[in-house]
Structure 1
């Protein structure tokens, strides 16, 4: 059955900020077949028509998330990253059960869908349970097998074996990857092995790099090289590599990223909340480094709302460069859509163009936040600067509606909230 969506406008999600007014978008078998102006639309007498009064945008792609940390939202407030991890997060995570992770991931996935985020790259424990949660809500996920030496989660060899076993076994909703935490928590030989497994299976490898100014000091003192240099020297780069944060990078580090085509997950919300610093976003883009927006976890952001992060990314880039043109509104929106999809090598997502997956978001434009509109591109400007996730009304993944009028169609969020509250109190020892 052909699905036809009509809308006030379609925002494509490309770098130049293409906006198609009075638009039609056709979907068949979960894939976009045609998009353009209504006056040019092909005949489709048997189509199932969904008339939308607002703006249709691509489903956003969250390139870095630890979504089950919704269990710890707001905890450890005011602590720097090292103390936040060691004193608050890791002790509580040691008490996690697989059921805790699945319930929290389900709640977080539903939250992201309400915010217009249809795909997220997840790095957390019990990946099989995270995958089950994503399938339940109807979202998409790149679920990475974690590598981190914490009690109760197996040896590095066991974690790597589990990651290798999942290689190439994904489906339309779930793609598998590998997520070593960082070079300061995972031995370099293990990182090398992880990269070998990822390349062998064509999997995404994602790891934290240069999030704080001091995290690489011990490695620098021991080896005389920065973390990016060490990753290159130990054959970790190459293949599909996504580096998270990348706040404290010098010119040589960025040149390595360009040389090896390493993508970056830019997480301004988390970086500012934890006072980690401001990434060199403009420099990265000018070098041709692929960058996509990420929220990080809901314990360090503290939400999963890419509308807030893309706006903050533009503000920080302009402030850092002392230049009001340092990041345009079209670029900011692209970083959460088309660019984010490219950063994880998923050219089937992130833009509303023929041949891509029909992951769609309907944003209500009958609001003062969308006034005035003199040109169609004003709609995109308003999406970035004045509109937020509160204006998201409906979300579809592969043409299947998973949010209707701001409410999940697949899970009971009230029930999930109560369940998360109970589990969070247990993990906090209360």
Structure 2
């Protein structure tokens, strides 16, 4: 924590200096003075944000019934424009909470990218690859290959869009498909996002044959590149060691895991093993919001109650999991911190709030505790991505929030009337 500090940006939207005011270099550009707190934009390490249009559907079902009976049939009726409308609303919701980057796994990913660019946010896209009725995984894989080969891994102003691969899971793709997807990703230096060991009923056949999903992924040759394993709830000590040895990162999604009764991920053990771990919301139909601050608090409380240790993760640890930790989980070094060379994804937290009744004239540890445990998203006032304002005084700058809500609501209404 730095008090009375400055953050200097260049014209491209990158940070060129962050440090105490008294030792800051001369800055020839415009200067904006702020009270309160500046922090890095939060990183949502795993999301399906277009599912804002499915929020509340099948909300009292376990994971596999929720997917097969409600969500997948509804998703089969979504049009590309529906996905765009859902992603605009999801992006607005995250930006207002100070989430500047989200790792998105969804289909019609070109519409997801268009929505993200329209709101000014940042996303790491993993177009879905699945071998289920109605979907051709080879065609889906070829589409991702062509996209990256044409546009490169990152594109858009401020490199706001990164494209990777989203093989859904080991239970929706055969091992041979996982092998091929991973090989294509490694050849391009792209991130692979995959659901791993989210719940016990989902991958019984795979566990019986291979021992565990992490073991299956090893045998299928998935490791060796940039791999992010979402959820990773039901892992053995051997599985965690396998992740650590292969630099596999984890997106911990406590809210969704709790709501779907999937279980409690071993956050303490993952961190102790050196597995890069970020926090994710999962989709807004299984959480049911995109407020990463809430998941940060849930991650801390679950870790404490699971270990019966109130010191296992502290406020500073949790804030780092949501920022630098999320960047590490995405294998990115250009976001997640206020450091020279990184993109200026910055969040301004105001302190005119009951949580900050004593203001900032308290010890650093108390400021962090208040920020993480008490204030969170409601105190976010302004947000910048690549140095450009995207939220001002709590409202998005580039899109109309109420219009976005109306469009997404109409999609939901049509799905419910089908």
TM range (shorter): over 0.9
Q: 1:151-201 deviations in whole A, cap 9, x for unaligned? A: 54x411101101111223421110001001110111111111100010000
Give secondary structure in 1 for the equivalent of 2:128.
Answer: strand
Q: How many Å separate the matches in 1 of 2:8 and 2:283? A: 35
Q: How many Å separate the matches in 1 of 2:32 and 2:343? A: 17
Q: 1:191-237 deviations in whole A, cap 9, x for unaligned? A: 1110001000000001000000222211223x242111111011011
Q: How many Å separate the matches in 1 of 2:180 and 2:127? A: 14
User: How many residues were matched structurally?
Assistant: 409
Q: How many Å separate the matches in 1 of 2:365 and 2:343? A: 24
**Counterpart selection for 1:394 from 382, 385, 388:** 382
Residue 365 (structure 1) shift: 1.2
Is 1:165–2:146 an aligned residue pair?
A: yes
Aligned residue in 2 for 1:190: 177
Q: 1:66-108 deviations in whole A, cap 9, x for unaligned? A: 0000011111121100111111101101101000001111111
Structure 1: 4+ residue segments shifted above 6 A: none
Is 1:30–2:30 an aligned residue pair?
A: no
Q: 1:283-334 deviations in whole A, cap 9, x for unaligned? A: 0000000000100000001011111111110111011110010111111010
Give secondary structure in 1 for the equivalent of 2:31.
Answer: strand
- Aligned residues of 2:50 and 2:87 also touching (Cα < 8 A): yes
Across the aligned residues of Structure 1 and Structure 2, the Cα RMSD in angstroms comes to: 1.2
Q: How does 1:13-412 map to 2 (within 5 A)?
A: 19-28=1-10, 29-44=12-27, 46-152=28-134, 154-167=135-148, 168-171=152-155, 172-221=159-208, 223-372=209-358, 373-412=361-400
- Aligned residues of 2:153 and 2:190 also touching (Cα < 8 A): no
Is 1:418–2:406 an aligned residue pair?
A: yes
Q: 1:212-266 deviations in whole A, cap 9, x for unaligned? A: 0222211223x24211111101101120000000000011111110111100000
- Aligned residues of 1:21 and 1:376 also touching (Cα < 8 A): no
Q: Which runs of 5+ in 2 are unaligned?
A: none
* Structure 1 or 2: more helix by fraction: 2
Q: How many Å separate the matches in 1 of 2:336 and 2:207? A: 37
Q: How many Å separate the matches in 2 of 1:366 and 1:416? A: 28
Q: Which runs of 5+ in 1 are unaligned?
A: 1-18
- Aligned residues of 1:237 and 1:260 also touching (Cα < 8 A): yes
- Aligned residues of 1:94 and 1:151 also touching (Cα < 8 A): no
